[in-house]
Amino acid sequence: MIGRMLAGLVLALGMMSQAWAQQGAERGAQIDALIAALRIGDTVALMREEGLVFGREIGSDMLADGESDGWPAVVSRIYDTEKMQALVAQGLGEALDEADPAPMIAFFASPRGQEIIALELAARRAFLDPVVEEGARERLEMRRDEDDPLLGHVDRLIEDSDLIERNVSGALNANLMFYKGLVDGGALEMSQDEILDDVWSQEEAVREDAQGWLQSFLMMAYDPLSGSDLEAYAAFYRSAEGRALNRATFTAFDRMYEEISYLLGRAVAERMQSERL
C-alpha cells in the first residue's frame, strides 16, 4: 500500500513539474514576444551609442589618457549590447511578475504600436546629435508660446506615467553606483553618507534636465501622430497592463544602467590608479 502511495506521489509530482515547465516556457515565449514588439534590441543598440559618447566625455573629464591608450575599448566592452539586452530581458520578466503580457503585446505589435516605437527610436537616434537636441529644446519653447495642443498630449503622457520622477530616480541611482565604483576601485575616499549627500545635491538639476529632455524628445517623436493615436497610447498606459509595463520597463532598464554605471566607475578608478604609478 505504501509503495502504491509513493508511486502515486512521484507520478503526481512528475506531472506537476511538467506543467510548471510548460507554464515557464509559455511565459518565456510571451516575454520574448513583448521584447520583440517593443524593439528592445534596437533601443539597447541606441543606448550603447549614447554610452560610448558618455564614456568618451568621462574619459576626457577624469582621465589624463581618456582619448587614447585603450579607454574607448574599455567603454565599448562595458556597453556590450548582448549583456545589456540580457539584463533588460531578465529584469522585465521578473518585474512583470504575474501581469499578463498579452494586452501589451497586442498593443505594441499592432501597426499603431509599431509606428509609435519607430518614431521614438528615430527621435532618440536624432538626439545623438547635440545640435538636433538643442534645436528640439528651442522649438519646444516656441511651441509652448504658441499653445501647441501636442504639448498638452505630451505633458499628460509624462504625468500619467510619472516619467520625470522615474527618470530622475534612475539617473540619481546610476550616479550613486558610479560613485560606488570609484570608491571600490580606490579612486575616492568617501563614506556612504557623503556619497548620498553629493548625489542628492544633483536632484534639482537632474529634474530640470529630465523635464526639458523628455518634453523636447516626445514632441519630436510624436509630431507625426494623430490625436486619436495619442489618445489610444495614453489610454493604454492608464490601463492596469500599461502601468505594469511602465513599472517593469523602468525597473529593468534602471538595473541595467546601475550595473553599467558601477562598472564605469570601477574602470575609471582602475585607470586613475594606474596613472598614479
Other CB atoms within 10 A of residue 49 CB: 14
Where does the pLDDT of residue 26 fall: very low under 50, low under 70, confident under 90, or very high at 90 and above?
A: confident
Rounded to whole angstroms, the Cα distance separating 210 from 168 reads 7
User: What pLDDT does residue 236 have?
Assistant: 97
Distance CA(265)–CA(187), nearest Å, equals 9
Say what the pLDDT of residue 213 is. Answer: 96
Residue-level pLDDT at 97? 82
Quote the pLDDT of residue 188: 86
What residue ranges do the domains of the chain occupy?
A: 33-276
Is the pLDDT assigned to residue 110 strictly greater than 80?
Answer: yes
pLDDT range class, residue 58, cuts 50, 70, 90: very high
Nearest to 151 by CA among 84, 211, 100, 63: 211
Q: pLDDT, tens digit, for every residue of 199-224?
A: 999 999 999 999 999 999 999 999 99
What is the pTM for the complete model shown?
A: 0.87
If one compares 53 and 18, the residue with the highest pLDDT of the two is 53
Read off the pLDDT band of 69 (50, 70, 90): confident
Q: According to the model, what pLDDT value does residue 34 have?
A: 97
Closest to 179 (Cα-Cα) out of 166, 192, 165 = 192
% residues pLDDT > 90 (the chain)? 79
For the chain, the helix, strand and coil percentages under 3-state DSSP, each to the nearest 5: 85, 0, 15
From the number of C-beta atoms within 10 Å of its C-beta (0-12, 13-18, 19+), residue 125 rates as middle
Percent of the chain with pLDDT over 70: 88
Task: Compute the half-sphere exposure of residue 71: CA atoms within 13 Å on the CB side of its CA.
Answer: 29
Average pLDDT, the chain: 91
Residue 20 has pLDDT above 50, yes or no: no
Give the CA diameter of the chain: 84
